[in-house]
Amino acid sequence: MKVAKFGGSSLASGKQLEKVYNIVLSDPERKVIVVSAPGKRYSDDIKVTDLLITIGEKSLAGEVVEQELQAIVDRYAQIAEELNLTSEIIDKIRENLVGLINGDKSNPTLYIEALKAAGEDNNAKLVAAYFNARGQEAHYVNPKEAGLFVTNEPGNAQVLPESYENLYRLRERSGILIVPGFFGYSLDGAVLTFSRSGSDITGSILANGVKAELYENFTDVDAVYSVNPSIVKQPKEIRELTYREMRELSYAGFSVFHDEALIPAFRAGIPVNVKNTNNPSAPGTLIVSKRENKNGPVIGIASDDGFCSIYVSKYMMNREIGFGRKVLQILEDFGLSYEHVPSGIDDMTVVLREKQLNKEIELEVLQRIKNELNADEVIIEHHLALIMVVGEGMRHNVGTTARAAKALAGVDINIDMINQGSSEVSMMFGVKAQDEKRAVQALYNEFFASVLV
Ligand code: ASP
């Protein structure tokens, strides 16, 4: 049995739904189908989920939402029309949305959660109706009915372990099961969503629950690329990579597959196949627990900007027990999350996402570190980019860091920071944000130009 998840762009129009139908029907093992809400049809289109969030916010502020409601109903209606479905399904969708808009607002967060989930929920009903209209036995399955229970964390729900046993029972159901992605239910019956793009997470949970042989994640690219295609033209495709490699790459900016979605599949050892709805015969990328290392030490290079670093130095820091903890405690007091902490004998650097800071917080944090810890120097540096060079093969290869550093030196880029060794599968370089793209290109040339994939 396979679980197949289709993303928003795979379900954005009637034509796309036809492709989905053909893909599902071409393999009888594809029994559990997870769907996103209709996504973008073109680059500045608006996702249904974003329209729903606007409706929720406006409606809580007492504003009229008729226009947005109509825009959403029109999106579904257009799809239904393209597929020659009767208007019955669209009436049901409108009714559902109106019910939610007029629903209980006493808990504003839960009110928005229920609306946010409606994009997926109604899409699953629409997809099931389409499969039925084509003569297939297909059933819409609500996550509550399936037993997908989650923690009470709005926008960041986590699956509850008991869900997996409940979901196993889906195996006994007949026909194709169409499940909306992106949300589950708390034990007291409220709708709670996963983090954004969380339909990937639903797919992975279901794959684990039904003990699928494969979790297929259908999107709009042929593969996970070795580097961001908007930085390097036509980069090499990755055929196979490990969960750990995928985790590192998606952390640092690869958005093809949600990093949280790896966990349930990884725990059950289920391979994940990222595939293209628009080119289903392409093999895609397979994410597995172990792979043979054939093509050199590096599998991918990811980068992201928007980081800053706080450099702290104090003579004899190495003798002062608890110094690092105290620095991190100050950050915790401000609710700041950090990403990396490279350190030396008398200095440490804490790397964080700079969007968490504003001028006042920044000043207070620096002053507290300086005053409370008697630091000699506390310096913040803004506008940094982090580049992650990732590959299981790095551990066993001599000279990977030297090659990377040489490649950067070759294009005159100063390395502000290196963190190597804390992760077995990656190496991190901090450079000025303005150098990010050139750095990635240089590293790509070094590690991939001569590699056959
Ligand atoms: N529709 C949701 C979002 O836009 C979830 C998803 O697409 O996976 O975040």
Best residue for ligand 1 mutational test, from 10, 51, 120, 219 (most atoms within 8 Å of Cβ): 120
pLDDT score, position 294: 73
Residue with the smallest CA separation from ligand 1 atom 2 is 197
Distance 95 CA to ligand 1 centre (A): 22
Residue type for position 403: R
Distance 258 CA to ligand 1 centre (A): 10
Best residue for ligand 1 mutational test, from 199, 201, 260 (most atoms within 8 Å of Cβ): 199
Distance 80 CA to ligand 1 centre (A): 20
Distance 134 CA to ligand 1 centre (A): 27
Distance 154 CA to ligand 1 centre (A): 14
Q: For residue 156, what are its two tokens?
A: 């960041």
Ligand 1 atom closest to Cα of residue 120:
1
pLDDT score, position 15: 96
Q: For residue 250, what are its two tokens?
A: 């998606």
Q: Which residues pair with 272 in a beta bridge?
A: 215, 287
The answer to whether 375 and 314 have CB atoms below 8 angstroms apart is yes
Could you give the count of Cα atoms lying within 13 Å of 220 in the half-sphere of its Cβ? 13
pLDDT score, position 451: 60
pLDDT score, position 175: 97
3-state secondary structure the chain: CEEEEECHHHHCCHHHHHHHHHHHHCCCCEEEEEECCCCCCCCCCCCHHHHHHHHHHHHHCCCCCHHHHHHHHHHHHHHHHHCCCCCHHHHHHHHHHHHHHCCCCCCHHHHHHHHHHHHHHHHHHHHHHHHHHCCCCEEECCHHHHCCEECCCCCCCCECCHHHHHHHHHHHCCCEEEEECCEEECCCCCEEECCCCCHHHHHHHHHHHCCCCEEEEEECCCCEECECCCCCCCCCEECEEEHHHHHHHHHCCCCCCCHHHHHHHHHHCCCEEEEECCCCCCCCEEEECCCCCCCCCCCEEEEEEEEEEEEEECCCHHHCCCHHHHHHHHHHHCCCCEEECCECCCEEEEEEEHHHCCHHHHHHHHHHHHHHHCCCEEEEEEEEEEEEEECHHHHHCCCHHHHHHHHHHHCCCCCCEEEECCCCCEEEEEEEHHHHHHHHHHHHHHHHCCCCC
Gap between the Cα atoms of 225 and 208, Å rounded? 26
Gap between the Cα atoms of 72 and 264, Å rounded? 32
Ligand 1 atom closest to Cα of residue 200:
8
Return the closest-CA partner of residue 79 out of 132, 87, 177.
87
Distance 214 CA to ligand 1 centre (A): 22
Residue for token pair 């930085």: 231
Ligand 1 atom closest to Cα of residue 50:
4
What parts of the chain have a pLDDT lower than 70? 253, 421, 451-453
Q: How are beta strands 272-276 and 214-219 bridged, if at all?
A: parallel
Ligand 1 atom closest to Cα of residue 195:
9
Q: How are beta strands 285-288 and 240-242 bridged, if at all?
A: parallel
Ligand 1 atom closest to Cα of residue 119:
1
Judged by phi (left if over 0) then psi (alpha if -120 to 50, else beta), residue 141 lies in beta
pLDDT score, position 161: 97
pLDDT score, position 19: 98
Best residue for ligand 1 mutational test, from 5, 48, 49 (most atoms within 8 Å of Cβ): 49
Residues whose CB is less than 8 angstroms from the CB of residue 422 and which lie 6 or more positions away in sequence, other chains included:
340
Gap between the Cα atoms of 447 and 283, Å rounded? 23
Best residue for ligand 1 mutational test, from 6, 11, 36, 54 (most atoms within 8 Å of Cβ): 36
pLDDT score, position 305: 94
pLDDT, tens only, 7-58: 999 999 999 999 999 999 999 999 999 999 999 999 899 999 999 999 999 9
For the chain, the maximum distance between any two Cα atoms, rounded to a whole number of angstroms, is: 76
Q: For residue 199, what are its two tokens?
A: 């339909």
Return the closest-CA partner of residue 378 out of 327, 415, 341.
327
Residue with the smallest CA separation from ligand 1 atom 6 is 197
Cβ atoms within 10 Å, residue 202: 28
Distance 310 CA to ligand 1 centre (A): 34
Distance 268 CA to ligand 1 centre (A): 24
Ligand 1 atom closest to Cα of residue 182:
5
Residue with the smallest CA separation from ligand 1 atom 5 is 197
pLDDT score, position 70: 97
Pocket of ligand 1, beta carbon within 6 A? 8, 36-37, 47, 49, 119, 181-182, 196-199
Residue with the smallest CA separation from ligand 1 atom 3 is 197
pLDDT score, position 326: 97
Residues whose CB is less than 8 angstroms from the CB of residue 398 and which lie 6 or more positions away in sequence, other chains included:
none
What are the structural domains of the chain? 2-220 (3.40.1160.10), 300-448 (3.30.2130.10)
Distance 7 CA to ligand 1 centre (A): 8
- What's CA 369's distance to the chain center, in Å? 34
Best residue for ligand 1 mutational test, from 9, 10, 47, 202 (most atoms within 8 Å of Cβ): 47
